[in-house]
Amino acid sequence: MAEKLTEPPEVAQNVGTFHAPVHLSVWMNLTLVLVTLAASTERALRLRYSRLLDGGAG
């Protein structure tokens, strides 16, 4: 996404351009989006505290 946002000449001139180190295929991007949506939905629906995910140190 950062790569697409820095493509326009006006932005590239002021901010510079970003080139992603890895380029995924369309089906890999779609799979990544679906897995992320499923994981975030599951996390939101459970509403349980997790030391690992919620940043608790003790």
pLDDT of residue 58: 55
CA atoms within 13 A on the CB side of 29: 6
Total of domains in the chain: 1
Residue 34 lies in a domain: yes
Using DSSP, state whether 56 is helix, strand or coil: coil
Residue 31 lies in a domain: yes
Residue 39 lies in a domain: yes
- For residues 6-31, give the mean pLDDT: 87
Domain of 29 in residue numbering reads as 23-47
The reply to whether the predicted model has a pTM over 0.85 is no
b/e per residue 8-18 (b: at least 16 CB within 10 A): eeeeeeeeeee
Residue 10 lies in a domain: no
Long-range contacts of 51-55 (CB under 8 A, 24+ apart): none
pLDDT of residue 38: 94
